[in-house]
Structure 1
Amino acid sequence: MTNRGWRESIVAYIRVEAQPEDKFGHQPRLYALARQVGQGMDYDDDILFAAAWMHDLGVFVGHRPKDPAQLSRWDHVPYTICRSRELLTEWGFPGEKLDGVESAIRNHQAKDEPTTVEGMLIRDADILEQLGAIGILRAAVKVGRDSRYPSFSSIVPVLRNAVNHLANQTRLIGSKAMAESRAEMLRSFLDAMYDEAGDLLH
């Protein structure tokens, strides 16, 4: 399969498997953000593309546990890595680059310490996706759908954490200014929300 072929296979697969449906947009945005952050840097775009599109496979409905107790303890990363290696191999992804994809997926969360350029790009881009207007949309859509967030007030700590902690955790020069701008937008939103709702948000 050609380079174009395996990329098309990834996108087609994630388009179907990204459930609930709103989760699909995160993948192309993450790849675009990672490339934007990585301008002028030397990285493998095949690894970056595959890791960006596959990194959240284990959080999709149909791939994560249905039982709430099991779901509360679920670490999607090992599952995502194992399934991604299987699928990427099936689609003709270069075998010598699979370890690079695994490393980027394994270390894509804010708490992680990436050891590759692709991993650093994916991690910083994933932090950026939790800030700004997109961060607000991604949090708000969980209200009433995710058992952890039954009300609007339940996502406020998530947004507050993004502003107060995540925004300062980007590592790369290309992402720091973007994080600052997005955090400021998110901070303004929180201020407006408190002004409008006070203690009556629910």
Structure 2
Amino acid sequence: MSRELDALARELSIPYYEAALPAHDSFHANRVRDMALRLANECEETVDRDVLSAAAWLHDIGRPAERTGEIDDHDEWGAGEAAKLLAAEDVSAGRIAAIEHCIRTHSIRSSSPEPETLEATLLFDADKLDATGAVGIVRLACIVGERSGRTGEKHAVIDDPSVQRAATADGPDVALLREWARERLDELYTDPARRLGASRWEFMESFFARFADELGVEGER
């Protein structure tokens, strides 16, 4: 992998993450980059690691602006912004197009196009895996916290709906984190990601069982 493009993409992306909240900051981008390359190492097909690494660094540069309402779609905006940044650095048109596609297709939202290259599927999977396992639990809790209080947004409380306390059966509860993680694992494209996802899901199941026990209710076994 070219250190030059990797380092360039990192340098270009960092200023955009300065206003990011923890769930989508530069540390998230770095973890996704590392995970994407780990998955690439397990692929039999040839992977353009330069494109993959650069796309990972740049994939969420639009998140802060989307959060504040300056833009509507961080995927689309981020792809275009990344293309401008890379073009100014004389990166080849072919690589820019490949990076754009990765960024444009990395989201799980229904409006996001399907990834059509191996690099795009690896970025998608790496991004989703960062919402699973131990790190994923923390990230998803951060996301819930970011969205709590917004009109129409799902949120959560630290409780279980089966317990007659503040939460009710139709109210918010921490099971939302499990729902979001499972949704992401069900969308994974590559075999290496599915294998790792299965291991992380086992941990999450044990975590939520322990969580229920600590609340004094019967956890799912």
- Taking the TM superposition and a 5 Å limit, the aligned residue runs for 1:101-116 are 101-110=99-108, 112-116=113-117
1:119-174 deviations in Å (ceiling 9; x for gaps): 11111111211110111111223454444447446573442224433223222111
User: Gaps (5+ residues) in structure 2?
Assistant: 160-171
- Taking the TM superposition and a 5 Å limit, the aligned residue runs for 1:78-89 are 78-89=76-87
CA distance 1:43–1:6, shift in 2 (3 Å): closer
The 8 Å contact of residues 101 and 120 in structure 2, kept in 1 or not, is answered as: yes
Rounded Cα–Cα distance in structure 2 between residues aligned with 1:155 and 1:83? 37
CA distance 1:113–1:190, shift in 2 (3 Å): same
Structure 1, 44-53 or 106-115: larger mean CA deviation: 106-115
- Give the C-alpha shift of residue 109 in structure 1: 2.4
Highest CA radius of gyration, 1 or 2? Answer: 2
Q: 1:41 aligns with which of 35, 41, 45?
A: 45
Rounded Cα–Cα distance in structure 1 between residues aligned with 2:123 and 2:5? 20
Rounded Cα–Cα distance in structure 2 between residues aligned with 1:163 and 1:85? 31
Rounded Cα–Cα distance in structure 1 between residues aligned with 2:14 and 2:213? 39
Give the aligned partner of residue 178 of structure 1: 196
- Taking the TM superposition and a 5 Å limit, the aligned residue runs for 1:140-159 are 140-142=141-143, 144-147=145-148, 148=153, 149=155, 151-152=157-158, 156-159=174-177
CA distance 1:162–1:145, shift in 2 (3 Å): closer
**DSSP 3-state at the match of 1:92:** coil
Rounded Cα–Cα distance in structure 1 between residues aligned with 2:33 and 2:115? 17
- Give the C-alpha shift of residue 92 in structure 1: 3.0
User: Gaps (5+ residues) in structure 1?
Assistant: none
Give the aligned partner of residue 52 of structure 1: 56
Rounded Cα–Cα distance in structure 1 between residues aligned with 2:180 and 2:90? 37
Give the aligned partner of residue 9 of structure 2: 10
Relative contact order higher in (CA < 8 Å, ≥ 6 apart):
1
- Report the aligned-residue RMSD: 2.6
The 8 Å contact of residues 52 and 119 in structure 2, kept in 1 or not, is answered as: yes
What is the TM-score normalised by the length of structure 2? 0.75
Rounded Cα–Cα distance in structure 2 between residues aligned with 1:41 and 1:172? 11
CA distance 1:65–1:141, shift in 2 (3 Å): closer
What is the TM-score normalised by the length of structure 1? 0.81
> Which ranges of 4 or more aligned residues in structure 1 deviate by more than 6 Å?
none
Q: Which has the higher helix share?
A: 1
Is it true that 1:93 corresponds to 2:91 in the alignment? yes
The 8 Å contact of residues 144 and 151 in structure 1, kept in 2 or not, is answered as: no
Rounded Cα–Cα distance in structure 2 between residues aligned with 1:191 and 1:4? 43
* Number of matched pairs: 191
Rounded Cα–Cα distance in structure 1 between residues aligned with 2:5 and 2:182? 39
